[in-house]
Amino acid sequence: MAMYDIVVADVRAPRDGRFIEKLGTYNPNTNPATIHLNTDSAFSWVMNGAQPSDTARAILSYKGVMIRKHLQVGVNKGAITQEEADKRFAEWLKTKEAKIEAKVEGLAKDKAAIDKSKFEAETKVKEARAEALAKKQSELIAAEEAAAKAAAAEQAGEEAAEEVSEAPAEETKAKVEDAGAEDAAAEVKEEVSSEVKATDETPAEEAKTEEAPGAEAEVAEPKAVEAKEETPAEEAKTEEAPAAEAEVAEPKAVEAKEDTPVEEPVAKETKEEATTESKAAEVNEEVSSEAKGTEAKDEAEKKEEK
């Protein structure tokens, strides 16, 4: 927000340093710019040969100092008279002031139009908000009324239900007592029927128990026969086995006579053990023969190397 002073200074003086005379001020922050200038003093300095800078020339031209100098030079040369020069300068000042006023008025109108448009936009927004609030309030009021109606209806229904429930309360009590009596009679009937069934079923159970020993005897006899029939088959199996197996099977055959159901799997196990032992022996012989062959080859190779 800088402001400037219009001064007359020596060319050899530094900027913002010592000056001879202050002619006025310049404020470019306003529209139009605010200029306070001593035009008579500025005119005398320009006529005495002072050279304005570019900004100072524009300010002096805006205030009419430069056109006044131009007219005064014409007067000094005798081209025009002083009266005519003063008349022309006064007309220029009027036109300049009219232009400045028109600009100020135009700026004011533009500002008023902008302010009016802003105000209209704000009013529209406020109206829309007020309408929305009114709708919400109306909806809330309607909802509250509906809730009040529903609550009143519920209360009326509850009161009617209470009236209806109080009237037949005695009848329901009588019905409950009748139902309890009927349940007690049904329980008595069930107990009597269960006792009658128990008396009827006892003879049949005794008959079953009397017949049971005979049936058990009939079932036990075939088992003994089966045990007797299994022993010859086991002896035949032991006779077919080789002599080496017989030595192992004889004590197991004795056990078979004492406990017949275990004889068959024992004999089979002895056969399997014999076969596995013979196979293991053959494998050991083959491995030993191969080991001997490899040892012989190694010895021969060592001899050849030596």
The CATH number that applies at residue 9 is 3.30.1320.10
Of 80, 113, 140, which one is at a domain's C-terminal end?
A: 80
pLDDT for 166 equals 65
pTM for this entry: 0.41
Mean pLDDT of 221-244: 40
Mean pLDDT of 196-225: 43
Calpha distance 241→50 (Å, rounded): 153
Of 40, 55, 80, which one is at a domain's C-terminal end?
A: 80
Residue 66 structural domain:
4-80
> Phi first, then psi: what are they for 5, rounded to 5°?
-105, 140
Share of the chain above pLDDT 70, in %: 61
- Do 65 and 43 meet the contact criterion of CB atoms below 8 Å apart? yes
Mean residue pLDDT of the chain comes to 74
Greater pLDDT, 220 or 137: 137
Calpha distance 45→48 (Å, rounded): 5
Give the count of domains, the chain. 2
In a domain, 16, yes or no: yes
Calpha distance 240→135 (Å, rounded): 113
